[in-house]
Amino acid sequence: MIAVVTGANKGIGYHIAEQLLPSVTLLILACRDLGRGAAAAKMMMTTKSEYADKLRVMQLDISDSTSIDTFVASVGEIDVLVNNAGIAYKNADPTPFKEQCLPTLKTNFWGTIELTEKLKPKKSCECGLKGWKVISTQSRKTKTIFF
């Protein structure tokens, strides 16, 4: 089973990836910043070094269609997608709310939809699941969607 976790270099994404690692054949940490992704992988290997051959870090910026296309072309078909990447402005950020909306929606909504649609398998999954599994995280709840 091949799994991708976006935004996997810290927080919820990191911990989801850490828990998935023992049960997959390949886990891809999809991170906007390759340096942070590599640091996360190195930290994960301090407790899970026996799975080093199952872990890969790849660059992905879900707010950029070119980055999504490059990522999808490199990955091929997958069995599990955890949509965790996203942005959030801090409460103290002086950027006017109206100006925060476009980049937030482009990343957290449209980028997630574009990635999910482009990774959707062309054939049924051979991983034992009915369809493929997509998990999308938010700050307050997680949703699982079966296709």
What does the block give as tokens for 4? 């991708």
Separation between Cα atoms, residue 55 and residue 112, nearest integer Å: 22
Return the residue matching tokens 């910043």. Answer: 33
Per-residue pLDDT of the chain (147 residues; tens, 9 = 90+): 899 999 999 999 999 999 999 999 999 999 999 999 999 999 999 999 999 999 999 999 999 999 999 999 999 889 999 999 988 888 888 999 889 888 888 888 899 999 999 998 655 555 554 566 776 766 544 444 444
Which residues are 100's β-sheet partners?
Answer: none
Range list of β-strands (E), 34-87:
55-59, 80-83
Instruction: Classify 133 as helix, strand or coil.
Output: strand
